[in-house]
């Protein structure tokens, strides 16, 4: 019951606009210095060059690669592409953190798996949970409430949760070079989209503030909702445990068609989950296309995994040896965090 | 086989850009005359006044009803709201017209219902087909092909099909006063969306040209697609007979959340299928909201149905006596075509 009261308070805050108007504690994005060109956090090299050349070619009205403004669609994966996804996807951390509240609401779950393991706090055991177990947790923590309640929960969590290594809010773990690419593309008439395997409703909560991307340009894994009325007769939507779009692997181009209805001309990813999106964007295209993959090879400033460690393809999706080979074959540009990025985060000294 | 060859030609034209670049034979929208204010095709009256006052209130930075630009979302039903939907939904006409081509591809359907009835050309029998029969026809004519093939089919059909009464292309049967509202809202920072029970992929083909609404701002009934490769190795999507979103009645607010992720502040409809969208937009809102319903009471220039004829609610969705009563109760503005519109179509003398 206390949980319900809390939820009601949170919803009240949202509806009154109080929570949404809370000031952002610090700017996430570094501001460009006077005299700097575009992409100031990028070192000169083939990756930076590929972006500049692509934009030049597609915006040159007189050139053969010209793309009219309405077709300038650029899609960005999120986890590992625009922000840190290690040691665990941020959204999964959110869901695990929400388990105690869910169990308080439904005490009968306390001794049931996988909730029992999560409540134990045993990190090793939690890390060994199966995908199926994670699915149960995601469903229990992300459905059954109103859209507004969910948004308020995410917002409240983001305000207090800290990354275990960086000791900073997760929204400060966005890659400054990618924020610059987003801004540079938009300045050149591109509409930028997040196309994430993560939850659409989750990412929409902060995408506008953090990436400058409004909710309607966030495509993600999405569940159904159910229309109904609250006690005051106000219509609202309840998040249902019904999967509409699994926005990963082939689900990415399918989601892009559903939500955007145009084929992108630029796509950015970092894992096998982005492969189909990059193919859909670049293979057999009738003009210049940009496919880019972020390689996590910087254990010092971020993490090193994937081909840097000789990893094979996985179902979860990581930058694999196979994907690295495919990138070479298809002309996708690999972005080395270590070599291509002058700095990774806005707050670096 | 000839059908396949035709389809291949059509796809070839699309991929080469040839079909898309075909010039639009005549302008759909009338151009404003010098010295005219906004909404020139509207007579002075409560409907025009409601629109002007809503825009004034929500864009007045100093006023209590101010809506920041990013929240300015306006949603429009299509059939009966922005274009003629009588005597039959345009998309249904398209599907019926496509039946002979489908039967040529699959001759085994020739003697099967409901295809047999459609092929008979017996208008009375066709009009009596059940919703279930129509569903079978829609599935057979709108799925199984690539997205690009489907778009080309719709485009080719729109170029030649004529409305039985007006003898004009369907895309010329858009309501000039509603085009002016769309333009006026956009000029005031509103993002305009079509939210239709019709097929999302169908409406997207012409929405940009006809309404100035890009594909990514068309929300409609949507099916799944399946990612694959054509014979040249180019990735493409096949339209699948799997319903993802039934964008009518409660499906409209659900679709709005899925595709836009914000609650609209203005919504326009004409039938019971729009009721939940208007409620979601206006009921218990924290500021000025606009809900409008087009009343078809002009048999001379268009059609007269709904409350004008004392019709009750139907499952298909029409402006009913009940909805008329609800409009009064909720402060939704009813637009009388006969009284409020100086002219209905751009091409009127």
| Lookup result for tokens 């999967």 | A243
Are B253 and A262 within 8 A, CB to CB?
no
Phi–psi pair at B56, nearest 5 degrees: -60, -50
Mutate one of B19, B149, B261 to test the A interface: name it (highest A CB count within 10 A). B261
Q: A249-262: per-residue pLDDT in tens?
A: 999 999 999 999 99
Chain B residue closest in CA terms to A217 = B260
Q: Is the pLDDT of residue A25 over 70?
A: no
Q: Is the pLDDT of residue A119 over 60?
A: yes
Q: What is the pLDDT of residue B322?
A: 84
Phi-psi region of A341 (alpha: psi -120 to 50; beta: other; left: phi over 0): beta
User: Which residues on neighbouring strands pair with residue B334, listed in sequence order?
Assistant: B293
Residue A3 pLDDT level (bands cut at 50, 70, 90): very low
Q: Quote the CA–CA distance of A2 and A107 in Å, as a whole number.
A: 13
Chain A residue closest in CA terms to B73 = A216
Q: What is the pLDDT of residue B319?
A: 80
Are B225 and A257 within 8 A, CB to CB?
yes
Determine the distance in angstroms separating the CA of A105 from the nearest CA of chain B, rounded to an integer: 26
Spell out which residues of chain B touch residue A16, defining contact as CB-CB under 8 Å.
286
DSSP secondary structure, B170-239, as one string: GGG-B-HHHHHHHHHHHHTTPEEEEEEEEEHHHHHHHHHHHHS--GGGEEEEEEEEEEEE-TTS-EEEEE
The alpha-helical segments, DSSP class H, found in A46-143 are 46-59, 90-105, 115-120, 123-127, 131-142
Residue A11 pLDDT level (bands cut at 50, 70, 90): very low
Determine the distance in angstroms separating the CA of A16 from the nearest CA of chain B, rounded to an integer: 8
Closest partner residue to B257 (CB to CB) among A17, A70, A237 is A237
Q: Is the pLDDT of residue A19 over 60?
A: no
Are B216 and A286 within 8 A, CB to CB?
no
Q: Quote the CA–CA distance of A78 and A196 in Å, as a whole number.
A: 6
Q: A160-187: per-residue pLDDT in tens?
A: 999 999 999 999 999 999 999 999 999 9
Q: What Rg do the C-alpha atoms of chain B give, in angstroms?
A: 21
Q: 3-state class of A243 per DSSP?
A: strand
Q: B289-319: per-residue pLDDT in tens?
A: 999 999 999 999 999 987 767 676 665 567 8
Determine the distance in angstroms separating the CA of A220 from the nearest CA of chain B, rounded to an integer: 10
Q: Return the structure tokens found at B243.
A: 């319903």
Identify which of B90, B45, B77 has the alpha carbon closest to the alpha carbon of residue B338.
B45
Determine the distance in angstroms separating the CA of B135 from the nearest CA of chain A, rounded to an integer: 21
Spell out which residues of chain A touch residue B208, defining contact as CB-CB under 8 Å.
70
Are B208 and A286 within 8 A, CB to CB?
no
Q: What is the pLDDT of residue B308?
A: 66
Question: Residue A161 to residues A112, A123, A166: CA-CA distances in angstroms?
Answer: 26, 17, 11
Spell out which residues of chain B touch residue A200, defining contact as CB-CB under 8 Å.
258, 261
Q: B98-115: per-residue pLDDT in tens?
A: 999 999 999 999 999 999
pLDDT, mean of residues A218-237: 96
Cis peptide bond upstream of B312, omega within 30: no
Q: What is the pLDDT of residue A320?
A: 81
Instruction: Spell out the domains of chain A, with CATH numbers in brackets.
Output: 42-87+171-349 (3.40.50.1000), 89-164 (no CATH)
Q: Is the pLDDT of residue A315 over 70?
A: no
Are A283 and B234 within 8 A, CB to CB?
yes
Are A261 and B227 within 8 A, CB to CB?
no
pLDDT, mean of residues A112-136: 93
The strand ranges marked E within chain B are 73-76, 191-199, 218-229, 235-245, 266-269, 290-295, 333-336
Q: What is the pLDDT of residue B32?
A: 64
A–B CB contacts, 8 A cutoff, strictly below: 97
Q: Quote the CA–CA distance of A202 and B261 in Å, as a whole number.
A: 11
Spell out which residues of chain A touch residue B69, defining contact as CB-CB under 8 Å.
none
Determine the distance in angstroms separating the CA of B165 from the nearest CA of chain A, rounded to an integer: 32
| Confidence (pTM) | 0.90
Q: What is the pLDDT of residue A17?
A: 30
Residue B33, burial from CB neighbour count under 10 angstroms (0-12, 13-18, 19+): exposed
Low-confidence ranges of chain B (pLDDT < 70): 1-32, 308, 310, 312-317
Q: Quote the CA–CA distance of A210 and A203 in Å, as a whole number.
A: 10
């Amino acid at each position: 019951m206390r949980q319900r009261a809390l939820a009601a308070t949170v919803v009240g805050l949202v509806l009154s606009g109080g929570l949404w108007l809370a000031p952002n504690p610090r700017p996430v994005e570094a501001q460009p210095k006077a005299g700097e060109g575009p992409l100031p956090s990028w070192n000169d090299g083939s990756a930076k060059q590929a972006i500049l050349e692509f934009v030049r070619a597609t915006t040159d009205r007189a050139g053969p690669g010209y793309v009219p403004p309405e077709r300038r669609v650029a899609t960005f994966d999120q986890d590992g592409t625009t922000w840190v996804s290690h040691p665990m996807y941020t959204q999964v951390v959110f869901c695990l953190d929400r388990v105690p509240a869910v169990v308080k609401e439904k005490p009968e779950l306390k001794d049931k798996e996988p909730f029992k393991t999560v409540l134990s706090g045993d990190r090793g055991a939690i890390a060994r949970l199966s995908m199926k177990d994670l699915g149960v947790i995601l469903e229990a923590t992300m459905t059954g409430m109103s859209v507004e309640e969910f948004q308020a929960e995410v917002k409240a969590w983001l305000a207090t949760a800290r990354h275990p290594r960086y000791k900073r809010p997760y929204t400060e773990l966005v890659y400054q070079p990618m924020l610059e690419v987003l801004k540079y593309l938009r300045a050149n008439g591109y509409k930028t989209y997040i196309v994430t395997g993560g939850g659409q409703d989750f990412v929409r909560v902060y995408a506008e503030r953090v990436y400058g991307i409004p909710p309607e340009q966030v495509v993600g894994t999405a569940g159904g909702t159910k229309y109904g009325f609250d006690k005051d007769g106000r219509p609202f939507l309840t998040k249902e445990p019904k999967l509409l779009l699994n926005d990963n692997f082939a689900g990415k181009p399918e989601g892009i068609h559903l939500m955007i209805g145009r084929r992108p001309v630029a796509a950015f990813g970092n894992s096998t989950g982005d492969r189909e999106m990059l193919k859909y964007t670049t293979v057999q295209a009738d003009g210049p296309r940009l496919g880019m993959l972020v390689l996590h090879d910087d254990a010092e400033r971020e993490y090193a995994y994937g081909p840097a460690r000789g990893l094979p393809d996985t179902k979860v999706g990581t930058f694999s040896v196979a994907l690295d080979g495919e990138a070479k074959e298809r002309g996708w540009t690999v972005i080395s965090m270590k070599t291509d990025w002058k700095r990774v985060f806005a707050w670096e000294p």
